[in-house]
Structure 1
């Protein structure tokens, strides 16, 4: 989401972490004013809601950033997966009975959904051991298996690569790399064992673990893609700047793959393409960061300036990875 959109919402948040905008949205689920507490804003604005069994999460995006269709598609996918027994958080119907709601607010229309909390605790890469890495891989494979054959109104991954000639004409090396990566991806087979609906962001910060079982949440990046591409994105924190597993994380990456293969097929060709997908993901991340950055204002808040600097550094790293992978393939 653009930093300017995050800032618009953040300016409404009180010292008690409440927002009149969130109050308007939460009312669609019957929550009174002052109930929703701001948690974070990135691809969506996320607020915590109380629940008799713990808490729920209110997620919403401005219509100027994303239409109602994609939000409805994600909520429908999550509901279908949860109903089928997949380890996925379940959306909570609004008072109308629909899984999503479009709510007029002081900041314009917001497209919203509410999801249950995932049971358990979150881990990061520093908490990983070989058993958890294997379970993580198996969890992603189980999600892929549960989504196999599903027809969902979702975007296709890597479509952004076509925008590079216009968006980054000032950076011919990056445009060349993106074009090469796109050409390589276009040659890949799309049979059902390799290509389908994917989570899109199966990193550890989007999972909660309870007695060794991972529950997935945050399907904002769900798309039609290659399963191997979903693996490559999940393993970003274990991947080096050359698109290959970092030396210090190689065993964890291997255990992840072994866990994945214990549930869903991944042949040698798919495995060999992980580096290609790492480069393509890096390129697409550059474009998304560029979308988020926009143009800096003269009176930009300190937190926004700091975040802008951090994102700029991230984009620089992604550029090096994308170009490096393209040159190596």
Structure 2
């Protein structure tokens, strides 16, 4: 999980979903892609709302419609990511098929019963979904090589080749959550100092969430999707985000060291850039800080009573606690 819609938006959308998993919100989106009412069925809501046109619903195959409120940061990220995705697809990169709308655009701003949404549609990516337990050294190396190939296909960012990334630790130290948690505030200040003292590194146009959930594998090579978190970032930051399941919850002690080594070797083979495991510790903590900064906006329903929403709220709180603990441990490791 990277970005996440607020629980209030997820609940509002789910309230429109009927017993057949259809929604008038999705119908408004589908109309722009020539889909009849009821063709799209609810799949999930996380960084965006996702509905699927199942097999047989459309001659273009299985389709995934993704949309988010246009006035929300999630909508902006979706729109920017979809445009970037379309550019990569046109260049022949290993990404999901982008399906143009009826007016031949890759992103639409659409009026719906829940307000304006930015939307895009992708074709289903054939292939297998792997989890960490199914990886061997060869697959891990291919995963790293595929991320390097993504960076090459994306080209160079428009900004300077080397620059300091934004400082999420300083923002977190000043956030209300840190004011109520002195230990978190102190750790964030410590990591901000470490980040400030770190040298600038080359930037890439990264995926931002190149984890296994967002890949499908065919003949030993993955195709990716969900580029909402894409943008200019240090290569090590994109690697740390992608490989966070290999890194695990204890900074400096990778949970799957052999697979991590294979991933980094695969990345180096294609990119020519050597990234050592210790270089991933600070960007992994920065990722945690970004998530903690978002948590207050995400957890915006007090004491949810609906069973599925209560379960989601609990799962998210557990996730954010893990990020909190990782950030504190990282400060201890790096001082």
One fold, TM greater than 0.5? yes
Q: Cα–Cα, structure 1 residues 123 and 68, in superposed 2: closer, same or farther, change >3 Å?
A: closer
TM-score by length of 2: 0.89
**Does residue 1:96 correspond to 2:111, yes or no?**
no
Structure-2 separation of matches of 1:177 and 1:12: 42
Matches within 5 A, 1:122-161: 122-151=129-158, 158=166, 160-161=168-169
1:327 is matched with which residue? 332
For structure 1, the 5+ residue unaligned runs are none
Structure-2 separation of matches of 1:32 and 1:53: 13
CA deviation string 1:17-50 (max 9, x = no partner)? 1111100111111111010111110010001124
SS at match of 1:59: strand
1:166 is matched with which residue? 175
Match of 1:111 among 118, 123, 146: 118
Aligned residues: 321
2:157–2:203: 8 Å Cα contact kept in structure 1? no
1:29 is matched with which residue? 33
Match of 2:307 among 297, 302, 323: 302
Name the stretch that deviates more: 90-99 or 12-21.
Answer: 90-99
Stretches of 4+ aligned residues off by more than 6 angstroms: none
Match of 1:238 among 230, 246, 262: 246
For residue 64 of structure 1, report the CA deviation from its aligned partner.
Answer: 4.0
Structure-2 separation of matches of 1:89 and 1:51: 17
Match of 1:312 among 317, 325, 328: 317
For structure 2, the 5+ residue unaligned runs are none
2:267 is matched with which residue? 260
Q: Cα–Cα, structure 1 residues 94 and 189, in superposed 2: closer, same or farther, change >3 Å?
A: farther
RMSD (Å), alpha carbons: 2.1
1:284 is matched with which residue? 290
TM-score by length of 1: 0.90
Matches within 5 A, 1:2-81: 2-49=6-53, 50-52=57-59, 54-66=61-73, 69-81=76-88
